[in-house]
Structure 1
Amino acid sequence: MGAREHGGLIGWCRLLFTDILFPGKADADTRVRRLSLLLVLLLPAVLLYPTRGFHLLEPDEGRYAQIPKEMLVNGSWVVPTLQGEPYLDKPPLMYWLTALSYRAFGISQESARLVPALCVHFTILAIYLIGRRSVGERSAFWAAMLLSVAPGFVSVARLLLLDGLLVLCVTTSVLCGFEAVRTGKLKRGWWIAAAVASGLGFLTKGPISEVLLFVPLWVYGFLMRGGERQPNPLTPFPKKEGGTEPNTTNAMQPGMVLSPSPFRGGVGEGLQTQPAPAVVRWYWYLTFFGVVFAVNLPWYVAIYFREPQFLKYFFWEHNVMRFLQPFDHLQPIWYYVPILLGGLLPGTLLFAAYFWRLLRPAPGDSANRSSAGGFWLLTGAWCAFFFSCSGSKLPTYVLPAYPFLCLAIGEFVARTKWNTAFRTRALIGGMAALVMVAHYVAVPWYARERSPFGRPELVERFVSDHDVAVVCFPRNCDSLAFYHDRSDMRNVRTKSVNQLMVDCHHRPRTVILFTHHDSLQGFKNTLPPSLEIVETSTLKRKGKSSLLDKFAGATPWGLCDVAVVVPKYHVPPRDGAE
């Protein structure tokens, strides 16, 4: 007797997924339509590529622009550096790609943002070109359109962060992995492609790509293979002709899952069949991780010999401990709910209709919900759940959930009246117009207002002389190093303020960039009599009254004040001093 016959919890979970929520078959039409492909190529291109020239946003964009610049200038392709010091927080794939962009197109903010823009575009293309194989061309097209205009995805993932590249790797890995197992027989080429994409994700941000891939594949296989031996207990077999015994001949074929033709409530007359996913043998897992290791091992071995502390620092402190015992970015468990609701617009409105149909299906609705669509919903939910469980949270962490949720919504749109509804096109067109205005007007204005170099006259005169030392206190302002070629700039933390005082004694002039609101005043309070501040400049805006001024903030991100410090009497330079 199987679990489903007993009606146990496991059996009912399988019944709920395969027979009630997602009993239908995917659209069989997977042909690429030229017009659809043209739209998938053009719409993201218009939103992404011409809008890369706004100021770098501190602190992340400045940091991720400066690291590959130093890598290219210094030729240090193994050990990433920031201000000349090893920067070991993340693996180097994003830095390598950005450095190659610099080499091809020159060092600029436009070249720096080309890599994330391409990653966003390739993710949308992958959703259409690979996603159509599992849910049909129409579903994949609508998913790509929704993803192209989702502000939480297209406007954020294009920033110079690691998350856009990670999303491309995770999305490609899951798409290929699902395609490898979807039809019941493992497709080796797709499996290897999934491993390559997963390995590149590992080289971008660590083992997160493997976690986001395997859990939904395992859960989906567990749910779908639950019906291989036992029929649906709620659907009676027809009786044998002339008798009272049920006719169970050919009731179930190996590798298939029974599900009823739906009616309201999800269980009805007749039976359909869906293929259970392939069982992945242990040697194919070895092959998968062998490919991942082949992609990653050369660099990890090289970095270990040059910076032995990297492995513990990165894997333990920046992966395990940030998940379990975070030291920053603390947020409640529901933090990503409003982010996803706002970021998925206009898909959020369609998502509400989608869930209503799941809970209150009309006659015939269930036939339009395929197990593949269920897998994409499951995968998106897993991504959101996993990052919600993390102690450290940032809005960009949940970006991998967007493509999979859009695939689930796309199938709903394509296979219901929403496919031809004017309001669907109006929602997508209206959001595309809003995103375009944001990318072409609002974001450049906001970046200029929040950039330390939005008003260059306040800063440039202090940092243009390369014979004068420049120090950031107590945090980095890396966009300054990027724009003014000040790779000699150094950062001093609060705990090292006494050493900063000593260094100022041995220099004729030191420019200090204060990156926190109260840092200048605190520095003045600890300034010894032998040092004096001869000039200051504040970046704080005065006379702020309008709503736009309040939205832009009182000071730029990453820089609040500038001060010039000189010793009252000269102290001879120390050996090795700057």
Structure 2
Amino acid sequence: MLPDEGRYATVAWEMLATGDWLTPTLNGLPFFHKPPLFYWISGAAMALTGHTALAARAGSLVGAILGAFALYLFTVRWCGPVRARRALLVLLAQPLFFLGAQFANLDTLVAGCITATILCLAHTVLCFESQQDYSKTLLLSYLLAALGVLAKGLIGFVLPAMVILLWLVLRRRWRSLWMLISLPGLLLFLMVAAPWFVVMQQRFDGFLHYFFIVQHFQRFAAGGFNNVEPFWFYPAALAVCSLPCLLWIKKLPASSYWRSADQVLTDVRLLMGLTVICIVLFFSLPQSKLIGYIMPAVPALSWLMADLSLELMGSERARRWWRISVLCSAFMALVVVGALTVNQKYSARSLGLALQQVRQNEPVYMLKEYVYDLPFYAQLKRPVKVADEWQKARQSHRDNWRTELLDAAAFNPVLAQATLLPVDAVRASLCQDSVAWLVGRSDAEKDFPFLAQAEQVAVSHGQVLWRISAQKTEALECKVAGSH
């Protein structure tokens, strides 16, 4: 599903195709919007199981499994198997979690890492406070935080630290706070998270500034990016996506809920509530918002919905309504997945499959649009040539495929010069090739008149795949050697 799935699946594919497992690339150009963990997982899955869409989504599946079972194991240990099973069932039935687990982008992977880190830190604290051994789980917490950084950057440890810090402050557990500061843990964190960043900075001057300053702080603070939404967007979206199970939390504001006779249960309820609040508030501050960003709040909210449903299980009617609400959530998730499976207008899969017949020495051109998933489906092993009005594109501040390719071009200007072509340079470039393939919108003939004499190989959702031969000098107006 374009653009996200096509982008991230193609970057993972390029890692596998080139054998360079360190530098993420988009159309051969260094792509540093995000760290590499998703690409490593999905690329490895494609290497092991074959070039399939399921393998391309492996990073999201791993994140979902990590988050779901972290929630289950933590709840079994501190709240009992009944709450654990119910929390897991409610989580798996949530449309947002169900869809995110099979959607090839980084949100579910980092959500799984953040959830597991928070719960592992909380488990460590509760073990310390009950005088049980906690040394191994403390190190595991630092490891999970490092994986979160490799999944999507600084939020991998910033959000868990924020939640746990506030949880301990509200509980006034100062000794527990100092216990979490671990020199071995910090060394483990740096050993896992830091090497990739160090190597990329050594390879590409300016990488750290671009990754942290531009892609983290400027994007968080600026309002000029895409998907500008109001402050209340995430609370509303999370509420809508959690129906009808959300109806169980009507007693959430009651003070009695937060003062259970079981102190551990009270502590866990506070942890889950703070997790939802901190994550929603954190991502509500920037003007630019995408629904997937809120994924780390879904496991904690699912736990609260499951826990509150147990508080109301006094009648057969309530038990029946609980089953219906969970089934309705699962049904809605399945309906959305089914609809997207049937309607593939957001994918260039058919064009990509048709393009698999391209030979290794035959170039591929994309005309005034970079189709993210085309290299993945066509299994292209070298960059395509993208034709566009690049001078105009440099003046735009919108976050799109043009901006991504231009940002990447700064890290490899030599390759960028060969692959990012001005519109008026396409004809001359085609004349150098015996056979070439071109992809563009159906109205591309306005800017490229020679397409009228090219062979149409496939058409899909307004996009066309052409095959053209340089021997058609009448169409391309190529200069033939010896002619005047």
Class of the TM-score when normalised by the shorter of the 2 chains? 0.7 to 0.9
Q: Which residue of structure 1 aligns with residue 241 of structure 2?
A: 343
Residue 459 to residue 127, structure 1, CA distance change in 2 (3 Å): closer
Q: Which residue of structure 2 aligns with residue 165 of structure 1?
A: 109
The one of 218, 240, 244 aligned to 2:165: 218
Give the C-alpha shift of residue 126 in structure 1: 1.5
Percent identity of the aligned residues?
24
Residue 408 to residue 437, structure 1, CA distance change in 2 (3 Å): same
Contact 2:163–2:275 at 8 Å: present in 1 too? yes
Which 4+ runs in 1 deviate beyond 4 A? 364-369, 458-463, 535-540, 561-567
The one of 424, 429, 448 aligned to 1:501: 424
Residue 513 to residue 279, structure 1, CA distance change in 2 (3 Å): same
1:285-324 maps to which residues of 2 (within 5 A)? 285-324=182-221
Give the C-alpha shift of residue 569 in structure 1: 1.9
Is the partner of 1:131 in helix, strand or coil?
helix
Q: Can you list the C-alpha shifts for 1:428-485, whole angstroms capped at 9, x where unaligned?
A: 133334434544x333113x343223xx3x7766774335432224332132111112
Give the C-alpha shift of residue 511 in structure 1: 4.2
Q: Which residue of structure 2 aligns with residue 534 of structure 1?
A: 453
Q: Which residue of structure 1 aligns with residue 346 of structure 2?
A: 450
Higher mean alpha-carbon deviation, 465-474 vs 125-134, is at 465-474
Give the C-alpha shift of residue 120 in structure 1: 1.4
Residue 572 to residue 384, structure 1, CA distance change in 2 (3 Å): farther
Q: Can you list the C-alpha shifts for 1:20-63, whole angstroms capped at 9, x where unaligned?
A: xxxxxxxxxxxxxxxxxxxxxxxxxxxxxxxxxxxxx1122122
Residue 360 to residue 166, structure 1, CA distance change in 2 (3 Å): closer
1:91-490 maps to which residues of 2 (within 5 A)? 91-182=35-126, 185=129, 187-225=134-172, 276=173, 278-281=175-178, 284-326=181-223, 327-351=225-249, 353-355=250-252, 358-359=253-254, 367=261, 370-417=266-313, 421-439=319-337, 441-446=338-343, 448-453=344-349, 456=350, 464-466=357-359, 468-488=362-382, 489-490=384-385
Give the C-alpha shift of residue 564 in structure 1: 6.6
Contact 1:142–1:413 at 8 Å: present in 2 too? no
Residue 129 to residue 360, structure 1, CA distance change in 2 (3 Å): closer
Is the partner of 2:57 in helix, strand or coil?
helix
Give the C-alpha shift of residue 389 in structure 1: 0.8
Q: Can you list the C-alpha shifts for 1:210-261, whole angstroms capped at 9, x where unaligned?
A: 1211112121222111xxxxxxxxxxxxxxxxxxxxxxxxxxxxxxxxxxxx
Structure 2: state its 5+ residue gaps: 392-419
Contact 1:176–1:190 at 8 Å: present in 2 too? yes
Is the partner of 2:142 in helix, strand or coil?
helix
Contact 1:341–1:348 at 8 Å: present in 2 too? yes
* Cα separation, 1, equivalents of 2:480 and 2:34: 40
* Cα separation, 2, equivalents of 1:506 and 1:478: 22
Q: Can you list the C-alpha shifts for 1:251-273, whole angstroms capped at 9, x where unaligned?
A: xxxxxxxxxxxxxxxxxxxxxxx
Is the partner of 1:155 in helix, strand or coil?
helix
Please, what TM-score do these two structures have when normalized by structure 1? 0.68
* Cα separation, 2, equivalents of 1:188 and 1:224: 22
Give the C-alpha shift of residue 181 in structure 1: 1.4
Residue 138 to residue 423, structure 1, CA distance change in 2 (3 Å): same
Q: Can you list the C-alpha shifts for 1:81-105, whole angstroms capped at 9, x where unaligned?
A: 2222211111111111111111211
Q: Which residue of structure 2 aligns with residue 569 of structure 1?
A: 477
2:429 partner amino acid: H
1:390 partner amino acid: P
Residue 452 to residue 419, structure 1, CA distance change in 2 (3 Å): farther
Higher mean alpha-carbon deviation, 169-178 vs 211-220, is at 211-220
Q: Which residue of structure 1 aligns with residue 410 of structure 2?
A: none
The one of 383, 386, 395 aligned to 1:491: 386
2:29 partner amino acid: E
Give the C-alpha shift of residue 403 in structure 1: 0.6
Give the C-alpha shift of residue 131 in structure 1: 2.6
Q: Which residue of structure 1 aligns with residue 439 of structure 2?
A: 513
2:152 partner amino acid: K
Q: Which residue of structure 1 aligns with residue 16 of structure 2?
A: 72
Higher mean alpha-carbon deviation, 72-81 vs 108-117, is at 108-117
* Cα separation, 1, equivalents of 2:426 and 2:479: 10
User: Could you say what the CA RMSD is over the residues aligned between the two structures, in angstroms?
Assistant: 3.2
Residue 148 to residue 282, structure 1, CA distance change in 2 (3 Å): closer
Contact 1:506–1:570 at 8 Å: present in 2 too? no
Q: Which residue of structure 1 aligns with residue 417 of structure 2?
A: none
Q: Which is greater in Rg?
A: 1
Residue 299 to residue 392, structure 1, CA distance change in 2 (3 Å): same
Q: Which residue of structure 1 aligns with residue 398 of structure 2?
A: none
Please, what TM-score do these two structures have when normalized by structure 2? 0.80
Contact 2:386–2:421 at 8 Å: present in 1 too? no
Give the C-alpha shift of residue 291 in structure 1: 2.2
Contact 1:334–1:388 at 8 Å: present in 2 too? yes
Give the C-alpha shift of residue 329 in structure 1: 2.4
Give the C-alpha shift of residue 419 in structure 1: 8.9
Contact 1:533–1:563 at 8 Å: present in 2 too? no
* Cα separation, 2, equivalents of 1:419 and 1:297: 54
Residue 493 to residue 139, structure 1, CA distance change in 2 (3 Å): farther
Residue 117 to residue 492, structure 1, CA distance change in 2 (3 Å): same
Contact 1:463–1:470 at 8 Å: present in 2 too? no
Q: Can you list the C-alpha shifts for 1:166-210, whole angstroms capped at 9, x where unaligned?
A: 111111100001111135548322221111001001011101021
Aligned residues: 435
* Cα separation, 1, equivalents of 2:291 and 2:254: 29
Higher mean alpha-carbon deviation, 483-492 vs 209-218, is at 483-492
Residue 288 to residue 569, structure 1, CA distance change in 2 (3 Å): same
Is the partner of 2:237 in helix, strand or coil?
helix
Contact 1:471–1:512 at 8 Å: present in 2 too? yes
Q: Which has the higher helix share?
A: 2
2:143 partner amino acid: V
